Structure formats: C-alpha cells, structure tokens
Structure 1
C-alpha cells in the first residue's frame, strides 16, 4: 500500500512487511523486469546488513531513528479509543469514534511526511510512486497509452492520490427511504470511511460538515418544484 511505503521510506521497519531498500529504479526492458540494484558496485550490502544488525533502530538508508515496533502487539498499534475495557465491551459507537480519530491522524501524518518525502502520481492513470522520482516501468493502460508506449506521465501527488477518499453520498437517516435522484443537489458527500463512522455513531468532524451539507434541509419530493 502507498501509505505503508511512504512510512517505510520515512524510516519505520515492520517485521510483517519485509522490504528490500533499493538505490536504483527498476526498469522494464522488452517486457522483462530488470533490477539493476543487485548489480550495483557502489553499494555494500554486507556492510549495510552489519550496520542494521548492530543498531536495529536506525534505517540504513535514511539514518532515521525509528521506534522498535517488531515486539509490539497488534493492540499497541490501535488507537487508544479503540482499546476498550473488555468488561465494558466494545460498543459500536466507541469503535467508530476510534476509527474516525485514526483516519484523521493518518491523513494528518501522511501530509507531514509528504512534505519531506516525494510522492508521484501518473497524470493519466491512478498509479502512485513513492520516491524521489517516478519509475520507468511501462504499465500505463490509460487512454492513448500506445503513443507513450505505456510510459507513465509523473506529476506531484496530493494526499487524495496517496489515500483515495472514495467519496460517497451522505445518508442522514440510514433507516429512511433511499436517496432520490430528484433531490441529489441537496445531498452532501463525504469519504466512505467518514460516512461509515458517522452512521455508526461518531460525531461529524468539523472539516467535513460543509461537504456533507448538514445545514441544508432536503425538501420532500412533492415540494421540489416549489423550491427556487
């Protein structure tokens, strides 16, 4: 996942997601993936491995001190609001509040990391590349990709490119009638995660209130023609 790759390049190491840190990009030559990193003469992998073994808290490429998360349990990585007392029980509303808080923390943290570590997206397709520059693997299948021979057109990515929000219609009453096409201009939208948490009982975040159009009262179907 793009968000995981961004955190890995920022220096975090996760035992569940082992990766190989590359110093050179991967190329696609005549339909075959070629890795020039293994043929690099200027990078001593044995020396890098020794450094990593001596100090597992240091990223050998970025030299960024990171927390040791290998020995932590899964509950240590869950938002504190979700770590509920077993005797009290995991209420659905409490889980939705914790999920919403974790989502907002992830978005805020990703924005801060993107200020230092580059993220690129293709201008034609949803491909995302985390790194100093885009890769040269010709895998673009967007419109008129034949003229570019499948080469991506890289441009600077935004947080929406890294973590796709997948906007959905906001449903005020989940137990009411389905949304009507005639009233669609009165409905608001929100990211699917936010809408799910709101329907489960989480309060609406301030940054999404205007997007969800909570200040607009949809008219009844027989009143649509009377509304200016």
Structure 2
C-alpha cells in the first residue's frame, strides 16, 4: 500500500503549527519583559503529534535521526531536530516525483517499509543508526527464526533448514515441508522447490555469512544493503505464503 501523501503532509503541517514558537502576551494591566518563547501547542498535544510524525519521517527519511542535526537551538525549542526533519520530509513528499523526472531518474523506487515485515522489523533498529551490514544480518536471523516457528523446528537452521522445508521429498515426522504450489510431482513443482532451496542457500551463504564478519569488512553502502534486504524479503514471502505439509 502506497503512502497517502496528502494525509502525511497534513500531519507534518499540524506538527509545525503546534511547535511554532511565540511570546505569550502580557497579563492584563501589566507588562512582563522576557525573551522566553513557548510552543503554541501543549506538551501532551505535541508529544501525541510527534508519535505520528516520527513514523512518517521513518518512512520518508529513514536516517533522519542521524543525518539531521539535533544540537542546534535545543534550549530555545526542544523539537528543533524534528522541525528540520519535517521540513525536509515535506519537500520530498511534495517534489520527489518532479526531482526524479528532472534529473532523469524516474525509475521505480524500492521502499524498505514495503519489504516483508519479518525483514524490515528485524533490520529497522540497526538501519536507523546507519549499521547497514548488521541490519541485513538481523533481518536474516529474523527470517530464519520465523521459518523455524512456521514449521515448529529448532533442530535445523539457515541452509539446512531451508533444504529440508523446500525438499521435494514427502514430509516425515518432525520434518514438515513448505509447498509453494500443489504437490503434483510435475517438472514445474520440482523446479519451483529446487529454485527456492537454492535461493535460500544463496541468501545465507552469499549474504548472511559474509555479513556476520562485519568487523573485517567495510560498511555496506545503503543501496547495496537495501538490495540484500530485498532478497531476504522474497524468501520471507515464500515462507509466509507457502502451504504447510506435515508428516
């Protein structure tokens, strides 16, 4: 499901209005000389709005917490980082399609938030802090754990697990299978499950295992890490949508 841009921009605008600074008027019959400014919204109202706004920012600017400065004018307005991030996100929402068209890059974009929940839920905390290689590893572990949950096994993991669950052999006691199509023993059935088994092995042998040695490797560029997450998202959707066949 795509983002409702009009709704998102309205939420951002509401937050900016609540966090706008103003000087409170002098009390009747007197004058108070102060430079102190206040937010137009109350603390609880702003906090409630920030809860929604942060989710929008996470979708539009996944790295806003680390890329947007958070040490400027904090004494004047505690929401300064949020406010700058909101202005940036609003510009993206308003003009992203135009910018990509003008710059000659109007190709479809992959959103991390649109990946399978197992993958993005596993990767999100580390991704936000710029630890992309570790984020991919966390996503791989999450997919493995959810697959174990799906088939009720703890005695096999990663490559061995997927070799078992996508095996063309009939299920056995303690070794259920995941079927991506009807079990008709056709060439297509064999090809689909052989491919799923090989794909899973490639994900864990070629992506997860090297990434587990992140201390010996440079940090992954963000776009490469996103491509790797997408691979695990494909695998996760196969596992989640497959029919469980127990022995």
Fold match, TM over 0.5? no
| TM-score for both structures, normalised by structure 1 | 0.23
| TM-score for both structures, normalised by structure 2 | 0.22
**Structure (1 or 2) with the greater helix fraction:** 2
**Structure (1 or 2) with the greater strand fraction:** 1
